[in-house]
Structure 1
Amino acid sequence: MKRIVATICAAAMALSLAACSTTDSSSSASTADQSSSASTSSSAATEESADSDFDNSQKISVVTREDGSGTRGAFIELTGVETDEGDMTTVDAQQANSTNNVMTSVAAEEGAIGYISLGSLNETVKGIAVDGVEPTVENVKNGTYTIARPFNIVTNGEVSTLDEVSQDFISYVMSAEGQALITEEGYIGDDAAESYTSTQPSGNIVVGGSSSVSPVMEKLIEAYAEVNPNATVELQTSDSTNGVNFALDGTYTIGMASRELKDSEVEAGAVATVLAMDGIAVVVNNANPITNITMDNLRAVYTGELTTWADVQ
């Protein structure tokens, strides 16, 4: 009988210890959940505090590209800043003569807004959505992000009339290898392009024009030098208008333009070949909490109708 009583007591003690262990475990889990919740709340509060540091009443500093820029031409056309009366960009806008200068200006001024080639977007500035659509390669491809334009190489006449080096270089740019490099650099190449076969010509050519096209063209020229070391391709950066005009007058063997050709340029003999598609990203300073702007408000900012960030919210 004593053995039976002892066994029962031992079992009772074991159950009691198990119950205490379960209670302690539940208590620890509850404490951890509370700690996690507090951490999340703290993080949210910190983010909200950071946002609250931004002064919405401050004036919007509008940054645009210079006259002659293909990026400016495409932007004002696609956003409606250009009307039948011409380019209505506010006279108060700062003019930057390159993609890098736009990013530098926006990164340096908390209240600034600008626009750049999507392929050049980096962490120094913040790209924002337009009408709720993010500026991404995929959204440009599927047509939901509508502020997009072609990157063109421009020649005086058909490509077939050019010298052998120019034809070979253009063949490389438009090949599967060249288009894959374009895609790798963050632009939109042709996935169906055919493989490249070089004729290994020798000679020198000059490619020049748009500062938006220039970064990816530099990569293409470097890659071409590896497959055809017999040729030398010099790169000169200016703007799209000079890219077209200098291709026509022979200063550039091949021009670069980050926009469609004008009727007058086509009539003068300019021929455009689309080497890639590119979005135009609207960018703000990283301290600005804004993540989206409507097309109407974007247009109003650039025409000077909206002048403070409070107007845009």
Structure 2
Amino acid sequence: MKKIILIMVFAIVLLLTACTPSDAGFNLDSNITVYTRDTTSGTRDGFMNGIGFAEAAKSDSVLVTGFVIRDNTAQLNAMSIDEFGIGYISTSSLNNTVKGLYFNGVEPTEANVINNTYDLKRPFMWMIRAVGDFPSQDVEDLVHAFVAFLGTTDAADIINNSGAIALPSSITWDSIKNDFPITQQDNSSITVRFGGSDSIQKIAEAVTAAFTAKAGNFVAEHDHTGSGDGWKRTNGDTKDQTVGKDVGFSSRPFTTTELSNVIEEQYGQLAWDAIVAIVHLSNPINNVTADTLKKIYEGTYLTWSDVPNE
């Protein structure tokens, strides 16, 4: 009888040992499908620099063969169906349709960004047109009022509730609104154009929705096409085309070239954001290091069996 029990126990141990992620339905020997953003993306800039792969921020030639370029939303959608994919998005976009990976053992949460333990983060920036270069004086005045609003506790609450980390502030909108008389009139016939980073779109829409109610109900028009357009469409070569914007956002620091034709009052930071590597929910990997991500994106690790679950 004891012999039979021992055999049964041994069989159970073997069974449990054999229950690998591959047996559970995930094939670790499958090739990794690598997703990235285009070279103008602030998310890509922050991600590649954050994993020690700076040369990949602006160059596709150093990436693994067969990589796929998709924007923030498209990567999120892709990872919900591509069992063997890996990508990266803003943490403000993370939801329960994908798995957000720990980075260097730290969970990608707002609290961990604030306490500086989560290292994969980048700034959210704004930029506006030059004085006298707006469609009208009313639009210019509303934009300057909006920039002031971004520095208030009112805006900070909205930014935090939208998934980013607002900069510290002790100023309320009520304490400064009289400095902007434009906000006291009916502005329902005026349109202010917002664009740039699509990673910031959710936050920008939330902040403008709150501000327009405080500023005469102007129309906030949003068209977000990437961080590169945060400068191009406000101060760059497309600012005077139909795609031109009054306020542009970037999810990376503006470059030296982009800042060459603007003054200090035309740009600033509104928040911090973290970037998170994402995979399909069935993927057994839970944590990655900067070195692991670099090896995936450069092609050293080609299958999921190559990737350590650290």
How does the TM-score come out when normalised to structure 1? 0.79
Structure 2 gaps of 5+ residues are 1-11
Deviates more, 1:48-57 or 1:220-229: 48-57
Q: 2 CA distance for matches of 1:166 and 1:85?
A: 31
2:300 maps to which residue?
Answer: 305
Which deviates more from structure 2 when the two are superposed, residues 226-235 or residues 275-284?
226-235
Superposition deviation, residue 149 in structure 1 = 0.4
**Contact 1:180–1:191 (8 Å) recurs in 2:** no
Match of 2:149?
172
* Superposition pairs of residues 193-208 of structure 1, within 5 angstroms: 193-197=170-174, 198=177, 199=181, 200=183, 202=187, 203-208=190-195
How many Å apart are 1:223 and its aligned residue? Answer: 1.2
SS at match of 1:208: strand
Q: CA deviation at 1:86?
A: 5.4
Counterpart contact for 1:75–1:280, Cα < 8 Å = yes
Deviations 1:130-180 (A, max 9, x none): 211111111111222111001111123489x98211011222222111110
Give the structure 2 partner of residue 55 of structure 1: 27
**Bigger Rg over Cα:** 1
Structure 1 unaligned spans of 5+: 1-40
Q: TM-score under structure 2 normalisation?
A: 0.80
2:84 corresponds to which residue? 111
Does 1:274 pair with 2:269? Answer: yes
SS of 1:247 mapped into structure 2: coil
Question: SS where residue 232 of structure 2 aligns?
Answer: helix
Say which of 126, 130, 149 aligns to 2:103: 130
Identical-residue share of aligned pairs (%): 27
- Look up the match of 1:82: 54
Equivalent residue, structure 2, for 1:4: none
User: Are the equivalent residues in 2 in contact too, given 1:63–1:106 (CA < 8 A)?
Assistant: no
The more displaced of 161-170 and 56-65 is: 161-170
Residues of 2 paired with 1:289 and 1:101: CA distance?
A: 22
C-alpha separation between the residues in 2 aligned to 1:84 and 1:186? 27
Q: 2:165 aligns with which of 169, 174, 188?
A: 188
Indicate if the aligned counterparts of 1:176 and 1:194 stay in contact, CA closer than 8 A: yes
Instruction: Give distance in 2, aligned partners of 1:105 and 1:268.
Output: 38
CA distance in structure 2 between the partners assigned to 1:257 and 1:91 by the alignment: 28
Paired position in structure 1 for 2:222 = 235
Secondary structure of 1:74's counterpart equals helix
> For residue 140 of structure 1, what is the aligned residue in structure 2?
113
* Letter matched to residue 192 of structure 1: S
1:85 shift after superposition: 10
Letter of the structure 1 residue corresponding to residue 295 of structure 2 = A
Check 1:247–1:85 CA distance in 2 against 1; reply closer, same or farther (3 A cut). Answer: closer
The alpha-carbon distance between structure 1 residues 193 and 158, as it changes in their structure 2 partners (threshold 3 A), is farther
Which structure 1 residue ranges, 4+ long, deviate > 3 Å from structure 2?
48-52, 156-159
CA contact (8 A) 1:240 1:258 kept: yes
Q: Structure 1 residue 240: deviation in Å?
A: 0.6
Residues 1:237 and 1:306: Cα distance change in structure 2 (over 3 Å): same
Separation in 2, partners of 1:155, 1:192: 21
Q: Which amino acid aligns with 1:168?
A: A
- Indicate the residue corresponding to 1:294 in structure 2: 289
Q: Which residue of 2 aligns with 1:13?
A: none
The equivalent residue for 1:67 is 39
Per-residue deviation at 1:83? 2.6
Residue from 224, 244, 251 that aligns with 1:258 = 251
Q: Which amino acid aligns with 1:74?
A: G
Contact 1:176 1:192 in 2 (8 A): yes
